[in-house]
Structure 1
């Protein structure tokens, strides 16, 4: 025998309401609670063999970034635009300690530090 009910629960278990996602926890964009929490941990973002002489564009936790490997074997993961004029660093020249912007030549270290010598005119 089947019971007929006036409400259609469309397959919900035990007549419970359909659960909704808590965007406070599942959103991983910059400035969100979940995103700020996950940025405190290491994440595998690429295989070492994928990173060669040319910078690689990657998307991590909703942010577009540039991944590169210096001739010294150090890896860099930086914002894809130069802080000076906004030119893409994807076309930048990889050097011993970082990447150089192709437009005005500003140098960005692999840990996103702009040396004082790059700022002086």
Structure 2
């Protein structure tokens, strides 16, 4: 259990950097460019996810990079990203609430997906 906790801590640190990157890109696309929340959230996720996939493979799970693993992660979490953005548009939520909700969901579901599917069999 201690190893699991350590991996979640490292994943959370990478996630913090990922979140800052995601939020900055989201707000630039949403406010400065004027895109919908769904598209802004998906685009910001794609950039931030590439960053975090690389760091998590190296430092959290000590795994080799895999195109298949990357695509599984990108598709599953990208669908969640778009869905949260879509609901933000549909329900006319403030953008800050949209990215906050996605960030919390992403932390939990992203870790579980990474740990038990994408990087299965690797540390922790």
Bin the TM-score by the shorter chain. Answer: under 0.3
Q: How does the TM-score come out when normalised to structure 2?
A: 0.24
Q: Would you tell me which structure has more helix in proportion to its own residues?
A: 2
Structure with larger RCO (C-alpha < 8 A, sep 6+): 2
From the CA coordinates, give the structure whose radius of gyration is larger: 1
Q: Would you tell me which structure has more strand in proportion to its own residues?
A: 1
Q: How does the TM-score come out when normalised to structure 1?
A: 0.25
